[in-house]
Amino acid sequence: MSQMISVSEALKTLLSKETKVVVLTGAGISAESGVPTFRGEDGLWKKFRPEELATFDAFMANPELVWEWYEYRRKIIEEIKPNPAHLALVEFQNHFEEFDLITQNVDGLHNQAGSKNVVELHGNIKRNKCIRCGAQYETLEKTIKGIPPKCHCGGNIRPDVVWFGEMLPQDALNYAFKVSSDCDLFFSVGTSAVVHPAASLPLIAKRSGAYVVEVNMERTEISHVIDESLIGKAGKIMPQLVKFFM
């Protein structure tokens, strides 16, 4: 049996259902499920930099190459399952009366685990959209063929993710700022807290009076300004936090 984590009395008290809770997740939580990091692609893709594949200019210059790279990544993610940290956050959702889950990840594992109304700051690799008319494609119909596929309007269909040089979806970002500034308890889980604007969310929460906790394999740039750091795997720590629910 794994050793129970040590948490402060302040955090235990805040784990009551009336507490307004916001959780931000990053690549670390998905890495525990086996999702490769963005720069960790193997084989064929080692000769390309992400900046050469994850930009609108790259897609316009060589849409076939970019589409095939994202298909490769999708096939990897299709075989990957949510881990205990994802499942624990479903328990968080069910326990707290006011709960918001914000993620920087594009793998859709939170949705697969059963989380509802996930705020996806960087999009979702399982979705697609037309670059011309903006039509959304949750799944591509069999009649839509080609690499890359063509929309009914004739435009190229691209992955619905935020590429380098693109703005985050404004509605999602505004909502993330709003709930972060209005919560009582904020968790930063599996994120290095260096990629902005998401990295500013725990600091916004802290300045607004929230109790801020990070769950990460190591200390981060915000460790010295937040309230509590729980060092270790999210897949071990988050399920243990559920046991403290009041």
The domain locations on the chain are 9-34+82-122+168-242, 36-79+126-161
219 token code pair: 């200390």
* Options 95, 122, 152, 196, the catalytic residue: 122
Q: Give the pTM.
A: 0.92
pLDDT of residue 44: 46
Q: Which CATH architecture has domain 9-34+82-122+168-242?
A: 3-Layer(aba) Sandwich (3.40)
The answer to whether residues 129 and 121 touch, using CB atoms and an 8 Å cutoff, is no
Asked whether the predicted pLDDT for residue 179 surpasses 60, the reply is yes
Determine the CATH number of domain 36-79+126-161.
Answer: 3.30.1600.10
Which pLDDT score is estimated for 28? 94
Q: 9-34+82-122+168-242 with 36-79+126-161: one CATH topology?
A: no
Whether the pLDDT of residue 38 is over 90: the answer is no
**pLDDT value of position 6:** 87
Supply the pLDDT for residue 3.
Answer: 66
Query: Region 62-67: what's the mean pLDDT?
Result: 93
Whether residue 2 is predicted with pLDDT greater than 80 in this model: the reply is no
163 pLDDT band, cuts 50/70/90, is very high
Considering only residues 144 and 128, tell me which one the structure prediction assigns the higher pLDDT: 128
pLDDT band per the 50, 70, 90 thresholds, residue 4: confident
- How far is 191 from 105, CA to CA, in rounded Å? 10
- How far apart are the C-alpha atoms of 59 and 39, rounded to whole Å? 18
Residue 46 pLDDT: 65
Cβ atoms 148, 64 nearer than 8 A:
yes
Which band of pLDDT confidence, cut at 50, 70 and 90, is reported for residue 1?
Answer: very low
Whether pLDDT at 40 is above 70: no
The SS3 assignment for 150 reads: strand
- Reply yes or no on whether 110 is catalytic: no
* Residue 96 pLDDT exceeds 90: yes
Identify the weakest region by mean pLDDT among 127-136, 144-153, 197-206: 144-153
Provide the edge-to-edge strand list for the sheet that holds 20-25: 119-120, 98-103, 20-25, 185-189, 211-216, 228-231
Angle at 110 (CA atoms; ends 216, 30), nearest 5 degrees: 40
Give the per-residue pLDDT at 140: 64
